[in-house]
Amino acid sequence: MPTFMKLDDAFRDWYLERTGVLLDKDLVLPVLRALQGHPEAARLWEEHISAILEKVGFKNTTHEKNIYTGKFCGEKVLLVRQVDDFALGCHQESTAKSVYSEIGAKLTLHNEAEGPFEYLGLVNSFDGYDVLQTRDYIKLSAESCIRRLLKAHGWDNPSPRESSNKPKPPLHESDVANLFNLAAGPVKNTPEHKALEAEQGFGYRSVLGEILFAYVLCRPDIGYAVTTLAKFSTAPNALHYKSLKHLAIYLRQTQDWGIMCWRTEPVDSLPEVPHTPMKLDDSLPVTPPPSHLRQLITHVDVAHANELRQR
């Protein structure tokens, strides 16, 4: 069945330049060969791959269409699909290979010898995350994203004064009240704003955006700092700049932190990477542990601010 696309201005301009004919906006264009950037490509790919995965034996969840489960080679298999990147969870590598070759065969067109579908081995990065798979745990971290940020701004090496092995907290506690109380900085697109940005040496919003990415990936520990600093992104003052840089330095000191998912049983085929558990502060009461391992736990807290600006 042929697909048609509506003519957009870019195409009409191109056609006018090429042939001197201005096309009517109501015309449609038959698509002979789908290239990248085809307006229907996303939908067609979605339909195509969903049909294939269903045929292979996967079933997706109702709320998240890209999470699939299935049973292959006698074991349960989980699959996550991020458009055209696949991550598969199972016990035996042979199962993964067989599932991949099955999907690959279905993706191969009649005139191709081999489908454009490659088995890349053990996952070490996916969708922006760094994935460390070891005998006892899987760690999802944002290390490469943080390193990229630090490198781009020349913050990748600790200053000689920074000798303590204890990382700083994401925000200076004593600065927090001042973040709200001091006068706002110059608004964007003013000469004063440009001068402050030049003085500080980095763009507030761009650094904030990069840090936000790390937060969204797997760094809930900087959540409060990021959301607080984001409140000032239209008119940051010097203290906001300082706090943001402080946050970036915190990320440097803790760049290998990530979300650890502990295995119920060790997987001996994977390397053993020791993880030193952090020491608990004995002076504080204990947070209750889950009653069993697959239990979900929810924590809720609200900060109430009478001061409107601090909400």
Partner 1 sequence: MACRSRTQSICAQSSTEAELIAANAAAKVTKYLHFILHESGYTQTEPTPIYEDNDSAIKIVNHSRPTDRSRYVEIRHFALQHWRLMKDIMLIHLPGVVNPADMLTKALGWVLHHRHAPYLMGHYGNPCQ
Residue 286 interacts with partner 1 (CB under 8 A)? yes
Give the DSSP H or E segment for 51: helix 41-56
Sorted by sequence, the CB contacts under 8 Å of residue 167 that are 6+ apart come out as: 250, 253, 254
**1, 10, 113, 300: which one binds partner 1 (CB under 8 A):** 300
Fill in the per-residue mask, 150 to 169: x = in contact with partner 1 (CB under 8 A), - = not in contact. Answer: ----------------x-xx
Which listed residue (261, 269, 272, 273) binds partner 1 by CB under 8 A? 261
164-168 contacts at long range (C-beta below 8 A, 24 or more positions apart): 167/250, 167/253, 167/254, 168/246, 168/249, 168/250, 168/253
Minimum distance, C-beta of residue 130 to partner 1, in the bound complex (Å): 14
The interface with partner 1 within residues 132-151 (CB under 8 A) comprises 136-137
User: Strand pairing partners for 87?
Assistant: 80
Bridge-partner residues for 77, per DSSP? 70
Least separation, in Å, of the C-beta of 217 and partner 1? 12
Kindly state the tokens that stand for 51. Answer: 């049909």
Among 67, 73, 182, 212, binds partner 1 (CB under 8 A): 67
Under the binding rule (CB under 8 A), the answer on residue 297 touching partner 1 is yes
60 neighbors 34 (Cβ within 8 angstroms): no
Tokens matching residue 220 = 């809930």
Binding span for partner 1 by CB under 8 A among 46-54, 147-155, 186-194, 261-269: 261-269
Q: Which amino acid is it at 244?
A: L
Q: Is 111 in the site for partner 1 (CB under 8 A)?
A: no
- How many binding residues for partner 1 (CB under 8 A)? 61
Question: Is residue 296 near partner 1 by the rule CB under 8 A?
Answer: yes
Helix (H, G, I), strand (E, B) or coil at 74: coil
| 123, 131 contact by CB (below 8 A) | yes
Interface with partner 1 by CB under 8 A: which residues?
59, 61-64, 67, 69, 76, 78, 136-137, 166, 168-171, 173, 176, 218, 220-221, 223-225, 227-228, 257-264, 275, 277-278, 280-281, 284-304, 311
